[in-house]
Amino acid sequence: MPALPRFVPIHSRDNPQLKAWRRLAQDAQAYRKLGALWLEGEHLCSVVRDAGLPVQTVVLSQSRLAQPGWQQWLPAAGSHACVALDDTLFAQVSALESCAGLAYVLPWRGAGSVRASVPTVVLDRLQDAGNVGAILRSAAAFGFRQVVALQGTAALWSPKVVRAGMGAHFSLQLVEQAPLQALDALQLPLLLTSSHAGAWLHEAPLPWPSAWVLGHEGQGVSPALAALPHQAVRIAQPGGQESLNVATAAAICLHANATQALQQGLLQVDGGLHAPAF
């Protein structure tokens, strides 16, 4: 049995590492400047640990270190620093209402580049972190492997989006701050939802693999993007014509596409965690 690591304590709120973590935890775009991710709480950390992703630093609160079982949060492989934070300091770093006293710091791998032909979701200037996280979660659940966030979309690795994504980030190829021209690299048919045009989603044959384009909560897909060749589909709303929330519409479309692909044998229910690029 290997020796347990020594946890280096931090007691000062002026510690520069602590200040950096506070920025990562509380500022939506700090990860782009600092090149690191602050992932907090049991669910996210267990996803990272079980996927064997590289952890830079394991951060535990003193009270968590005093409880039995904290050793489960040591990643099995790789080298990582271990830091013990006073509970009050951890709570000052944390952006969560109930502080878990558990976080991993991971390297951020950069904005990514578009892969040509894996099933993809394109986000066109979506603003709401909850919507973006929910869409990543649906994309991962339904067998999509890549999410391309065009310029103007909420930062994919912001703490709010990561929390809403519930670990989906780690099974997707993520591309951020992409200009519209980046879509030229996609060798996939584009699918758009429309409120007034196209075949009904529940009747239309849908290609696989494909790229679904989801637009801004208020303005929808930009005219330049809508001018690209695409297939439009409509979601039937027998109860009325109010617009659906974009994350709701996304879940319905991605599920419909994936289940058609399942029925055609183009996709299997495999239940595995895929970490294509992290």
Q: Does 162 bind a copy of itself (CB under 8 A)?
A: no
Q: How far is Cα of residue 251 from the mean position of the Cα atoms in its chain?
A: 15
Q: How far is the CB of 32 from a copy of itself (least distance, A)?
A: 26
* Total number of residues that touch a copy of itself (CB under 8 A): 48
Rounded to 5 degrees, φ, ψ at 95 are -100, 5
Question: How far apart are the C-alpha atoms of 157 and 139, rounded to whole Å?
Answer: 16
**218-237 positions binding a copy of itself, by CB under 8 A:** 235-237
Tell me the pairing of strands 120-124 and 173-178: unpaired
Helix H segments across the chain? 16-26, 30-34, 42-50, 62-65, 87-93, 129-141, 159-165, 223-226, 246-263
CB-CB contact of 188 with 117 (8 Å): yes
Q: Does 54 bind a copy of itself (CB under 8 A)?
A: no
Q: Does 244 bind a copy of itself (CB under 8 A)?
A: yes
- Nearer to a copy of itself among residue 158 and residue 171 (C-beta): 171
Give the burial class of 121: count Cβ atoms within 10 A of its Cβ; 0-12 exposed, 13-18 middle, 19 or more buried.
buried
* One character per residue 92-131, x = contact with a copy of itself (rule: CB under 8 A): --------------------------------------x-
Total count of residues recorded for the chain:
278
Q: Does 202 bind a copy of itself (CB under 8 A)?
A: yes
Among 93, 123, 134, 206, binds a copy of itself (CB under 8 A): 134
Q: How far is the CB of 17 from a copy of itself (least distance, A)?
A: 32
Q: How far is the CB of 18 from a copy of itself (least distance, A)?
A: 30
Give the burial class of 120: count Cβ atoms within 10 A of its Cβ; 0-12 exposed, 13-18 middle, 19 or more buried.
buried
- Nearer to a copy of itself among residue 63 and residue 243 (C-beta): 243
Among 99, 112, 258, 278, binds a copy of itself (CB under 8 A): 258
Q: Does 212 bind a copy of itself (CB under 8 A)?
A: no
Q: Could you tell me the two tokens for 188? A: 């996939």
The DSSP letter of residue 171 is G
Residues of this chain that interact with a copy of itself (CB under 8 A) are: 130, 134, 137-145, 166-168, 171, 200-203, 235-242, 244-245, 247-248, 251-252, 255-256, 258-259, 261-263, 267-274
